[in-house]
Structure 1
């Protein structure tokens, strides 16, 4: 699988794993303290071929993603569910620990966050759906994030991410129906 865009990752181990999964060029941030030179490199890459931000599914990874997204508009975002990014020994979490198939799937499903935000789903909808402020809401958000391919979020982030990825009311309702069905099957 050939990826046209540059893939922005955190480090060398991520690059090694990604190059085993797909044919692509990467840009490494070397941690969460992204310097201006790296930001400029990512901006140039976005102008020429586009970029996909593919960071670890943890707090530092989300911080890096947010920093880049603010400074490089129009970048695509690829997300890995936490459970597929855990090291085999259980000590570590990151892109470098994911299976090649999980990486290919995440890159195939990469999406652009929109600058023009329109509200289709309200905070009230999220509360009614049991996605914020109630028992089991975290588990529901985890499953919803996987189904919509927008990654895991806390309650506050979920609202923003649904708007940024322009998730329609229909997409939201369909994914929520699957979440509810899964809960009934447990």
Structure 2
């Protein structure tokens, strides 16, 4: 497992972020929910790593974020603008600006 772990909501978020990252990062998808089984199998094993949480700026994302704040109190939370609402629909240039604070990103000009 990599030292950095990024938690997102779904596959479309993962695909957008992979276009930008230029370093190996384990990305975990919650698929909108965090059952006790997911917490046990996915979340608890990573609590001692550098964990970043990047979920949508909507009610579903905020619900997951709130739960993850309890389960992973030391995680770093990343936010997209409320106007973009979803990670998957956030423009690549803006995603790059958010992610470059914590990850190596590709130096490609995004349009």
State TM-score, norm by structure 1.
Answer: 0.48
Which structure has the greater CA radius of gyration? 1
RMSD of the TM alignment (CA)?
Answer: 1.9
Q: How many residues align?
A: 98
Q: 1: distance between equivalents of 2:56 and 2:3?
A: 21
Please list, as runs of the form range in 1=range in 2, the aligned pairs for 1:20-99 lying within 5 A after superposition: 20-22=19-21, 23=23, 24-31=25-32, 33-40=33-40, 41-47=42-48, 49-83=49-83, 85=84, 93-99=85-91
User: Cα deviation per residue 1:100-144 (whole Å; 9 max; x = unaligned)?
Assistant: 22112223446xxxxxxxxxxxxxxxxxxxxxxxxxxxxxxxxxx
Q: 2: distance between equivalents of 1:34 and 1:56?
A: 15
State TM-score, norm by structure 2.
Answer: 0.77
- Kindly report structure 1 stretches of 4+ aligned residues shifted beyond 6 Å: none
**Equivalent residues of 1:39, 1:68 under 8 A apart:** no
The one of the two structures with greater contact order (alpha-carbon pairs below 8 A, sep at least 6) is 2
Q: 1: distance between equivalents of 2:7 and 2:93?
A: 18
Residue aligned with 1:57, SS? coil
Higher strand proportion (structure 1 or 2): 2
Q: 2: distance between equivalents of 1:62 and 1:98?
A: 17
Unaligned runs of 5+ in 1: 86-92, 111-186
Unaligned runs of 5+ in 2: 103-111
Higher helix proportion (structure 1 or 2): 1
Residue 71 of structure 1 deviates from its aligned partner by 1.2
What residue in structure 1 maps to residue 108 of structure 2?
none
Q: 1: distance between equivalents of 2:43 and 2:8?
A: 11
